[in-house]
């Protein structure tokens, strides 16, 4: 999707860079009628001064409806852990948000907060966690967010507001630049990760093999079954840890509760490291897989548990390999013709 309408649903978080310093000593938070706490600052000649917000919202918002706002954003938990930073995790490129009609703005949600901002503004918004997930994400609060406190803070720096055509041109240019940056970054990071992995393998006395992709694997219990091929469905039990031993996910806990996960191999439904490593194993095998960050969650990381550029370890068991179910055939030309004739007959009967 070109423009991220619910830009937090894709990845919780944001980046204000420089705003934190102007936030100190800037007074108490204001509060909207819907309960959003805010501090908004306007750039006046390179100096940020507090800007008052009308209780009924920003009267100039109507002039921005239908346009696209480009902004840098950072989200933090109640315990001040950074969930997402657009400057770092989007290679310095801003998030883009379409500005909707006033009647569609969700009061108390992210949409209302964004509607208060003008070009050049910086802001800090503080939301009640239960409210923001109910209104903007329409889902329960994730457990890690519940543990981090009752609030979520969003730091914002508005870059610019554009027409859709202007934003489209910017995005197309950005995508090309971003792809080049990501490829260069991943290439350098893969080299760094390989040094880390070799050191880890040596310290833990692992007899690891290396795949051409950069994944290392250790078969701890050989299996006698087939190796999966692209498109086949695999069932895998797993435990994922950082190299310091911290567990970030396991099939032993909910929602799997000890059952293996199932997915088609080699079609991009899992991180690239899994698509590379699982086909190296025979059915019934148990193995340790060591995945460089560029084949895992890369520079973005994942939530609060997997930081940016994290090398990951997975202890896995390939429980089963099976062929994907046959896909239903599409309608034949004769079927389509019969449907057209039936529709024509119904239209003729209705016209009588």
Question: What's 111's domain CATH number?
Answer: 3.10.50.40
Q: Which residues are within 8 A (CB) of 204 and not within 5 positions of it... i.e. 6 or more apart?
A: none
Residue 267's Cβ-count burial label (10 Å; 0-12, 13-18, 19+) is exposed
Instruction: Name the residue range of residue 301's domain.
Output: 205-322
Q: CB neighbours (10 Å) of residue 191?
A: 11
How far is it, in rounded angstroms, from Cα 301 to Cα 298? Answer: 6
- Number of compact structural domains in the chain: 2
Long-range contacts of 177-181 (CB under 8 A, 24+ apart): 177/93, 178/90, 178/91, 178/93, 181/91
Whether 307 shows a pLDDT value over 70: the answer reads: yes
Is 71 in contact with 159 (CB distance < 8 Å)? yes
CA distances from residue 40 to 60, 78, 107, 351 in whole angstroms, order as listed? 15, 20, 18, 62
* pLDDT above 70: residue 348: no
Q: Does pTM surpass 0.85?
A: no
348 is a domain residue: no
φ, ψ for residue 295, nearest 5 deg: -105, 10
Residue 279 inside a domain? The answer is yes
Say if 187 falls within a structural domain.
Answer: no
CB 6 within 8 A of CB 139: no
What CA–CA distance (Å, rounded) separates 333 from 328? 15
- In tens, the pLDDT along 70-119 reads 999 999 998 888 888 888 877 678 888 888 865 566 788 888 899 999 98
Checking if the pLDDT of 2 tops 50, the result is no
pLDDT, mean over the chain: 82
The verdict on residue 101 lying in a domain is: yes
Domain boundary among 162, 193, 213: 162
Please identify which residue in the block is written with the tokens 């996910």.
Answer: 249
């Amino acid at each position: 999707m070109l423009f991220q309408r619910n830009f937090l649903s894709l990845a919780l978080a944001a980046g204000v860079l420089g705003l934190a310093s102007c936030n100190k000593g800037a007074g108490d938070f204001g509060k909207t009628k819907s309960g959003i706490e805010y501090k908004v600052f306007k750039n006046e000649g390179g100096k940020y001064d507090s800007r008052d917000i009308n209780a009924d919202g920003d009267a100039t918002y109507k002039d921005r409806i239908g346009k696209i706002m480009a902004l840098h954003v950072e989200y933090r938990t109640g315990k001040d852990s950074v969930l997402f930073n657009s400057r770092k995790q989007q290679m310095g490129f801003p998030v883009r948000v379409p500005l909707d009609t006033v009647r569609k703005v969700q009061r108390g949600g992210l949409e209302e907060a964004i509607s208060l901002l003008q070009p050049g503004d910086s802001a800090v918004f503080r939301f009640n966690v239960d409210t923001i997930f109910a209104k903007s994400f329409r889902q329960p609060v994730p457990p890690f967010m519940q543990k981090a406190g009752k609030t979520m803070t969003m730091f914002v720096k508005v870059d610019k507001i554009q027409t859709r055509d202007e934003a489209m041109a910017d995005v197309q240019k950005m995508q090309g630049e971003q792809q080049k940056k990501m490829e260069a970054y991943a290439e350098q990071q893969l080299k760094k990760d390989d040094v880390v992995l070799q050191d880890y393998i040596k310290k833990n006395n692992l007899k690891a093999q290396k795949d051409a992709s950069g994944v290392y694997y250790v078969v701890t219990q050989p299996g006698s079954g087939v190796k999966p091929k692209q498109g086949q469905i695999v069932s895998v039990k797993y435990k994922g840890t950082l190299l310091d031993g911290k567990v970030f996910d396991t099939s032993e806990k909910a929602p799997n509760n000890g059952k293996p996960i199932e997915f088609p191999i080699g079609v991009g439904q899992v991180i690239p490291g899994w698509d590379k490593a699982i086909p190296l194993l025979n059915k019934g095998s148990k193995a340790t897989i060591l995945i460089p960050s560029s084949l895992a969650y890369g520079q973005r990381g994942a939530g609060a548990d997997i930081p940016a550029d994290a090398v990951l370890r997975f202890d896995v068991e390939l429980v089963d390999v099976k062929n994907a179910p046959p896909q239903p055939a599409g309608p034949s030309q004769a079927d389509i013709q019969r449907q057209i004739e039936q529709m024509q007959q119904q239209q003729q009967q209705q016209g009588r």
